[in-house]
Amino acid sequence: MSRFAKPSQRDIARLAQVSQTTVSMVITGKAEAIGISYDTQERIRQAMRELGYTPNVAARSLQGGRNGLIGVHTFEPVFPVSADDYFHQFLVGIEQMAVELGQDLVLFASTQGADGTRSIYRTGVNRLNLADGVIMLGIEKNDSEVARLRAEGYPFVLIGRRDVAGVPFVTTDYVEAAGAVVDQLVSRGHRSIGYLARPLDTSPQNERREGFRERMSARGAITVFERFVEPADLVSSWLRDAMASGTTAIVVENYELIAALDSAASDVGVAIPEHLSVVCLDWGAHDLNGAAWSHLSVPRRELGRRSVAVLMALLEGEIGPDHAEVVPCELPGSATIAAPRSGLGADSGSRLGPR
């Protein structure tokens, strides 16, 4: 244990023949203001180098100071096995900005229990307060913990959520993005657009649907063929009905439904995008998958970057606890968007391949 004893300010003070106070002054940059001579300052810095001194995080945060640590907490494991994990890009962004701002990152792994779930207060201890502040991300919510954290006045920022009052957040504008998808389809000539989703659940889903509906009616006189299904229920008959009723484009809520739609399309003999344009609103982390479909994507890297900046601003008192940062969504490419051409085609293979 004593083998790894770390030098303290007192050790430095001893070596440099000054008091611990003076050392602290030099470290916190208040030396000039107080009036410590240049010689003494150099002597102290030399001693620090010699002993390899680093401030003790615990002690620092104990008495209220900053320690340059930014926490990252998710309610799921941070590095799940799959390489194209959804969180990866967020972390890339977070790390980038941390580098730029000279902060270090703490990944709270200790909050995970044997059951795989993560809970801030699992052990009855809030480990988070070791860091200056925390960025929280994750699909699973744990509202009671978030509320408690907020009540404690602990500084943190949410990524992707906007539903907790009094907590700054960084998110993407789903309403606008869904509207932009409508614009894109309408400007290509589509008038009858279907909307395919699972039964409603999360707020992003609600926002996307809202954005879709609003823009549809704003663009006027457009038929909407809306359907909420579970993937397994998506039978080809639905698609056949949609095509028969003149639908030329379908907006699809998520990736899983794309797969279902793809197979239905090849059943029914509909060529995408020749006979049916398709846009996906939530592509998840499937960016790397070969088949290219037009889809919105959450600017995960950018959200990660912003979250760090927002947290720092919060710590600096530059923004209030109700700060909202909304980053535009990345709009879909034209892979599966074409001008409408009604009717069924003869040869229409699957874009995703067999299975």
Partner DNA sequence: GAGCTGGACTAATGCGTATTAGTAATCATT
Partner DNA sequence: AATGATTACTAATACGCATTAGTCCAGCTC
**Residues of this chain, 128-147, that bind a copy of itself according to CB under 8 A:** 128-130, 133
328 near 173, Cβ under 8 Å?
A: yes
| 91 contacts: CB under 8 Å, gap ≥ 6 | 72, 78, 304
How far apart (Å, rounded) are the C-alpha atoms in residues 265 and 263?
5
Largest CA distance in the chain: 89
Does 76 interact with a copy of itself (rule: CB under 8 A)? no
Rounded-to-integer distance, Cα 60 and Cα 191, Å: 62
Closest CA to 285 of 8, 88, 38: 88
Binds 3, which of DNA, a copy of itself, none (CB < 5 to 8 A, cut-off by type)?
a copy of itself
Question: H-helix or E-strand containing 261?
Answer: helix 255-268
Decide which of a copy of itself, DNA, none touches 124; Cβ closer than 5 to 8 Å per partner kind: a copy of itself
> Does position 187 bind DNA by CB under 7 A?
no
Q: Contact between 317 and a copy of itself (CB under 8 A)?
A: yes
Q: Does 37 bind DNA (CB under 7 A)?
A: yes
Q: By CB under 8 A, is residue 6 in contact with a copy of itself?
A: yes
| Pick from 123, 120, 110, 124: nearest CA to 141 | 120
Q: Which of 14, 45, 219, 323 binds a copy of itself (CB under 8 A)?
A: 45
CA distances from 307 to 62, 63, 95, 315, 325 (A): 25, 26, 11, 12, 9
Could you say whether residue 80 binds a copy of itself (CB under 8 A)? yes
Q: Which of 114, 170, 120, 166 is nearest to 303 (CA)?
A: 170
Here's the x/- map for a copy of itself, 144-183, by CB under 8 A: it reads as ----x--xxxxx----------------------------
What span, in angstroms and rounded, lies between the C-alpha atoms of 22 and 11?
A: 12
What are the residues whose beta carbons fall under 8 Å from the beta carbon of 80, sequence distance 6 or more? 87
Report the nearest approach of a copy of itself to the CB of residue 135 (Å): 13
CB nearer to a copy of itself: pick between 67 and 254: 67
Answer for which of 18, 44, 108, 271 binds a copy of itself (CB under 8 A) is: 108
Q: Considering beta carbons, is residue 59 or 324 the nearer one to DNA?
A: 59
Q: Between residue 8 and residue 27, which ones bind DNA under the rule CB under 7 A?
A: 8-10, 17-22, 24-25, 27
Give burial (CB, 10 Å; 0-12/13-18/19+) of 342.
exposed
Asked whether position 47 contacts DNA by CB under 7 A, the answer is no
Lay out the site mask for DNA across 63-82 (x = CB under 7 A, - = otherwise): xxx-----------------
32 lines the binding site for a copy of itself (CB under 8 A): no
Tokens of 276: 């049916």
Interacting residues with a copy of itself (CB under 8 A): 1-4, 6, 45, 48-49, 52-62, 65, 67-69, 77-81, 83-84, 88-89, 91-92, 95-96, 98-99, 102-110, 112, 121, 124-130, 133, 148, 151-155, 288, 315, 317, 320-321
